[in-house]
Chain A
Amino acid sequence: MTGTAEAVTFWILGSLSVLSALGLLFARKAVHAALGVAFTMAILGIFYIGQGAPFLGVVQMFVYSGAVMMLFLFVVMLIGVDSSDSLVETLKGQRWLTLLLSLGLGALLIGMIGRITVTGTPNLNAINASPGNISAMAEVIFGKYVWVFEITSALLITAALGAMVLAHRERMGEKPNQREWARRRFQRGEFVSGLPAPGVYARHNAVDTPALLPDGTPTELSVSRTLQARDQVARPGLFSAAEHDPHQEIEEGSAR
Chain B
Amino acid sequence: MTVLTALAAAEPYVPRDNPIADFSDTPWWLSLVKALLIFVYLLLSTLLVIWFERRVIGRMQQRPGPNRTGPFGLLQTLADGVKLALKEDLTPKNADKVVFILAPAFFGAMAFVSFGIIPLGPEVSLFGHRTPLQLTDVPVSVLLMLAVAGVGAYGVVLAGWSSGSTYPLLGGLRSSAQIVSYEIAMGLSLVAVFLYSGSMSTSQIVANQRDIWHIIPLVVSFVIYVITMVGETNRLPFDLAEGEGELTGGFHTEYSSLKFAMFFLAEYVNMFTVAALATTVFLGGWQAPPGIAAINDGMFNEGWWGLLWFTIKLWMFMFFFVWLRGALPRTRYDQFMHFGWKFLIPVTIVWVVAIAFLQAANNGFLGDRAVNIFGAERRLASLIVIGVLALLVLAATWIWEGRQVKRAEARAVVVPPEIDPFAGGYPVPPLPGQRLRESAGESQADSSKAVIHG
Residues of A within 8 A of B (CB): 29, 31-32, 35, 38, 42, 45, 49, 54-55, 58-59, 61-62, 65-67, 70, 73-74, 77-78, 128-135
The yes or no answer to B151 lying at the interface (CB within 8 A) is yes
Q: Are B161 and A62 in contact (CB under 8 A)?
A: no
Q: Are B15 and A135 in contact (CB under 8 A)?
A: yes
Q: For residues 46 through 105 of chain B, which have their beta carbon under 8 Å from a beta carbon of chain A?
A: 96, 99
> Nearest CB to that of A66 among chain B residues?
B150
> Nearest CB to that of B144 among chain A residues?
A58
Q: Is the interface of A mostly helix, strand, loop or mixed?
A: helix
Q: How far is the CA of A70 from the CA of B152 in the complex (A)?
A: 11
**Chain A residues whose CB sits within 8 angstroms of the CB of B177 once the complex forms:** 74
Q: Are B147 and A61 in contact (CB under 8 A)?
A: yes
Of the stretches B135-143, B244-252, B267-275, B281-289, the one at the interface is B135-143
Minimum CB–CB distance from A134 to chain B (whole Å) comes to: 5
The yes or no answer to B345 lying at the interface (CB within 8 A) is no
Minimum CB–CB distance from B340 to chain A (whole Å) comes to: 15
**Chain A residues whose CB sits within 8 angstroms of the CB of B143 once the complex forms:** 55, 58-59, 62
Minimum CB–CB distance from B13 to chain A (whole Å) comes to: 10
Q: How far is the CA of A135 from the CA of B96 in the complex (A)?
A: 45
Chain B residues with a Cβ closer than 8 Å to the other chain, count: 27
Q: Are A131 and B180 in contact (CB under 8 A)?
A: no
Q: Which of B96, B153, B154 gathers the greatest number of chain A CB atoms within 10 Å?
A: B154
The yes or no answer to B383 lying at the interface (CB within 8 A) is no
16 examples of A-B residue contacts, CB within 8 angstroms:
A31-B161, A35-B99, A35-B154, A35-B158, A42-B151, A45-B147, A65-B147, A66-B147, A70-B180, A131-B15, A131-B17, A132-B18, A133-B140, A134-B15, A134-B17, A135-B15
Minimum CB–CB distance from A227 to chain B (whole Å) comes to: 15
Q: How far is the CA of A135 from the CA of B201 in the complex (A)?
A: 13
Q: Are A55 and B151 in contact (CB under 8 A)?
A: no
Q: For residues 128 through 186 of chain B, which have their beta carbon under 8 Å from a beta carbon of chain A?
A: 138-140, 143-144, 146-147, 150-151, 153-154, 157-158, 161, 169, 172-173, 176-177, 180
- A31-B161, A62-B150, A77-B161 are contacts. A133–B169 as well, Cβ < 8 Å? no
Minimum CB–CB distance from A124 to chain B (whole Å) comes to: 12
**Chain B residues whose CB sits within 8 angstroms of the CB of A54 once the complex forms:** 138-140, 144
Minimum CB–CB distance from B118 to chain A (whole Å) comes to: 16
> Nearest CB to that of B176 among chain A residues?
A70
> Nearest CB to that of A138 among chain B residues?
B15
**Chain A residues whose CB sits within 8 angstroms of the CB of B276 once the complex forms:** none
**Chain A residues whose CB sits within 8 angstroms of the CB of B15 once the complex forms:** 130-132, 134-135
**Chain B residues whose CB sits within 8 angstroms of the CB of A132 once the complex forms:** 15-18, 139
